[in-house]
Structure 1
Amino acid sequence: MNRPSNISPVNPLPPVVIALVLIMILNEAIFSLGSTGMLPFAGAEGWRIQAIQDYGFYGQIIDDFLARGTMDLDRLIRFFTYPFIHYSFTSAIFGCVFVVALGKYVGEIFHPVSVLIIFIGSALGGAIVYGLVLNAPRPLAGAFPSAYGLIGAFTYILWLKLERLGQNQLAAFRLIGFLMFAQLLFGLLYGGHVRWVSDVAGFATGFLLSFIVKPGGLAELRARIRRN
């Protein structure tokens, strides 16, 4: 049987992944061009720092919320804006690569809305744990908690596959184990930042959300609730 010539040999990226990455790329392009003085605007060299201050997530936000019980819009929005702003060009590149690679795989199995929920939910989970566990003055910025959430979804998919094959499901956690070991190694060699706490939280959030947002996940959850 002849294969139609108009079928691409490579599955296209899910539109939601393209949209998320384009926002990151656009922001990084503005910051990078501004830092080199190529943009004819006053103060363009400091746009990256200003954006991190205005849209990055500060752990103090959680402390203030627990103390006062309220949160204004400026602080609330930071839970969802910090993944699109990075501290450096290199960090942005790695963040985009992770989101593209894992988002493509997860998006081929999960609904695009599910991919978006995992991305945003993992950013939220990473920020909450960052604020609860740490007392870091440096704001959280970058797509890594969300990217690790997609790794959590990837791990969940592999976990189910290994269950169907009757193989050891712990093998599904090899990727996250390797990444955490690499972070620990680089931290010991070059001095690392405590951001890894938010990455782990993002991974756990993505993994747990996958139970609900997977195809048929809500129906399965309702069935379990009825049985109990």
Structure 2
Amino acid sequence: MSSNNISPVNPLPPVVVALFLMIVGIEAVFSLGARGILGGADAVGWRLEAVQRYAFSAEIFDWMRSNGRWPAEHVIRFLSYAFIHVSFMQAVFAGVMVLALGKMVGEVFSQFAVLAVFVLSAVIGALAYGLLVDSRVPLIGAFPGAYGLIGAFTYLLWLRLGQLGEQQARAFSLIGFLMGIQLVFGLLFGSQPDWIADIGGFVTGFAMSVFVSPGGWRRMRDRMRHR
């Protein structure tokens, strides 16, 4: 194969493109419906209906735990909330985060591993929200899953810095910067407790990467043997 045919840009992993299209596509339906372009008069309430049916609710989670009942229509909320957003701009921002971080992580991880990180980070983020937050505000948005990808990227950077003999704490600069921004916005405009879900997603993504990254399980096994 001629070197002239080799693209200088690595293609996006299909699973990352699929996640982006789901996030932006669902939002496009809501936005078009709200403007009366799609679905007629009833479409104006599509977003609110989706929030009621698919957002993660700490109150519903408490009810399920108290009664020992886990109906599928509510269990699905642990993941479905990640594909519903407050506005078009929020959805686009979340989608771009998934696209950018998914590309960087997907250059090292398998597609299945990338999807697993996003999904489990979203689920654990919702679980953290349900256990630690006493709020009636529903949790929506892809950010806990995106923060899981930040966790995976941080792990890869942490490994790389270790190989270079540099200070590995620098790998946490990105998450520190993002949390700093959230703190500033919280002080200026009032904070929402959904940052707990973001942190839960980040920790999950970082921890999962120890096992799902290429050679990750072998590295962990070798370290345990050396101890």
Q: Do the two structures share a fold, i.e. TM-score over 0.5?
A: yes
TM-score if structure 1 supplies the norm length?
A: 0.94
Can you list the C-alpha shifts for 1:17-63, whole angstroms capped at 9, x where unaligned? 01111111110110000111111423101101111111110012332
Residue correspondences, number: 227
**Worse overlay, 85-94 or 68-77:** 68-77
Secondary structure, aligned partner of 1:104 = helix
Which structure 2 residue ranges, 5 or more long, are not aligned?
none
| Partner in structure 1 of residue 16 of structure 2 | 17
Matched letter for residue 82 of structure 1: Y
Amino acid at match of 1:111: S
SS in structure 2 at match of 1:141:
coil
| Residue-by-residue CA offset, 1:54-102 (whole Å, 9 max, x unaligned) | 1110012332233223311011111111111111111101100100010
Change (3 A) 1:216 1:70: farther
2:131 is equivalent to residue 150 of structure 1: no
Corresponding residue for 1:213? 212
Q: What is the match of residue 75 of structure 1?
A: 74
Alpha-carbon distance in structure 1 between the residues aligned to 2:220 and 2:73: 35
Write the distance in 1 (CA, Å) between the matches of 2:64 and 2:222: 36
The answer on whether the counterparts of 1:148 and 1:206 sit within 8 Å (CA) in structure 2 is: yes
Q: Does residue 144 of structure 2 align to residue 113 of structure 1?
A: no
Residues 47-86 of structure 1 mapped to structure 2, 5 A cutoff:
47-86=46-85
The reply on whether 1:122 has 2:121 as its aligned counterpart is: yes
Tell me what 2:186 maps to: 187
Rounded Cα–Cα distance in structure 2 between residues aligned with 1:210 and 1:121: 12
AA partner of residue 101 (structure 1): A
Residue of structure 2 equivalent to 1:43: 42
Distance 2:169 2:94 in 1: 26
Runs (4+) of structure 1 exceeding 3 A deviation are 218-228
Alpha-carbon distance in structure 2 between the residues aligned to 1:220 and 1:132: 32
- AA aligned to 2:169 is L
Structure 1's 22 and 156: CA in aligned 2 closer, same or farther, altered over 3 A? same
Whole-Å Cα distance in 1 between the matches of residues 221 and 95 of structure 2?
A: 35
Deviation (angstroms), 1:190? 1.5
Q: Assess if the C-alpha contact under 8 Å between 1:61 and 1:131 holds in 2.
A: no
Give the whole-Å Cα distance in 2 for the aligned partners of 1:40 and 1:63: 35
CA contact (8 A) 1:123 1:145 kept: yes
TM-score (norm 2): 0.94
After superposing the two structures, state which structure 1 stretch, 152-161 or 209-218, moved more. Answer: 209-218
